Amino acid sequence: MDYGIRKVLKEKELSSGKIQMCRMGGSIYAVLVFNKRGALIDSVCNVCDGKSSKAMLLELNKEYRIRLDKLMKGEDF
């Protein structure tokens, strides 16, 4: 399933699942977390447009790192 993903910016696949930071469409960016069977288990998104786009992308990158850390530790979402 593609979930409306236009472009994958970052992706990491681990034995416990997969995490992606991607552009969904327009100015919407998201972090998606999948379990090892490929089902979506967590997500967060931001609208990155105008003057605040850099700050919003930095915040989304922070969320990516938090979720990647949880995924690496095998924690539940």
Q: Please tell me the predicted confidence (pLDDT) of residue 77.
A: 82
Q: Measured between alpha carbons, how far is 70 from 57 in angstroms, rounded to an integer?
A: 20
Question: Which tens digits make up the pLDDT trace of 7-61?
Answer: 999 999 999 999 999 999 889 999 999 999 999 999 999 998 888 889 999 999 9
Q: What pLDDT sits at residue 46?
A: 92
pLDDT given at position 7: 95
More confident residue, 74 or 19: 19
Phi, psi of 14 (to 5 degrees): -120, 175
Distance separating alpha carbons of residues 22 and 7, to the nearest angstrom = 6
Angstrom CA distances, 3 to 24, 27, 50, 68, 72, stand at: 8, 15, 25, 20, 23
pLDDT confidence of residue 51: 84
